A = this chain, B = another copy of it.
Amino acid sequence: MDAAERRREIAAAVWRVIRRDGVQGASVRAVAREAGTSMGALRHWFATQDELLHFAMTLVIEHARARVAAVVAGATPDARLVLRVLEETLPLDDGRRAEAEVWLALTARALTAPTLAALRDRSAEDLLALCRWVLTVLADAGDLRPGSDPSLEAERLYAVLDGLAVHAVTRPSALPVGRVRQVLAAHLDDLRDTR
């Protein structure tokens, strides 16, 4: 049996439970039931509940990272690519919405769960680095508006991303997918001097 695959299956069950009942509903028993297995079997793959949540969070991060890498791979870095890359981090379809919901739930949990916090910090660092990379791409293309502070702009772009993610996840009807893309595109236009 493929151990990694088995763990991913169980993590998927964790996602489903979290989306349905929140983190507080993701008890060992509930996850085992959702995964169609027994408590004993589940604990063979994850010794503690913390491990379970930690891996579920890891998977969110991995998915996003893989999507970003797939878009970047072999493409020429320009303003159009940059938009597509950033869109991969936003909840623009069901799959990404699922991830974003789990991300929000576990991010909140991380406020009082040290091991989750460490994971969240690393992923935040990655996302901020992505934003910095975006700025350098625009700068290299001569597209960046003169006089702007790249470090500050990276922070602002990161805030826009996570702000949009939170709003799209919490109030999807008030902020439909198309609107999210508009806002992101507008922000990127703003970073360039295309006005």
User: Quick one: which of A13-64 are within 8 Å of B by CB?
Assistant: 19-25
Known: A179-B155, A186-B152. A111 touches B160 (CB 8 A): no
Q: Are B155 and A111 in contact, with the CB atoms below 8 A?
A: no
> Is residue A80 within 8 Å, beta carbon to beta carbon, of the partner chain?
no
Known: A156-B187, A183-B152, A186-B156. A170 touches B120 (CB 8 A): yes
**When the two chains form the complex, which single residue of B128, B149, B164, B169 contacts A111, counting CB atoms closer than 8 Å?**
B169
- Write the nearest CB–CB distance from A51 to chain B, whole angstroms: 17
Q: Which residue of B lies closest to A107 (CB)?
A: B170
Q: Are B22 and A113 in contact, with the CB atoms below 8 A?
A: yes
- Chain A residues engaging chain B, CB cutoff 8 angstroms: 19-25, 101, 104-105, 107-113, 120-121, 124-125, 128, 145, 147, 149, 152-153, 155-156, 158-164, 166-167, 169-171, 174-175, 179, 182-183, 186-187, 190, 195
Q: A107-B170, A156-B183, A158-B163 are in contact. List 16 more A-B contacts (CB 8 A).
A: A22-B108, A101-B111, A105-B108, A108-B108, A121-B171, A124-B171, A128-B174, A147-B195, A152-B183, A156-B186, A156-B187, A159-B183, A160-B160, A161-B163, A163-B163, A163-B164
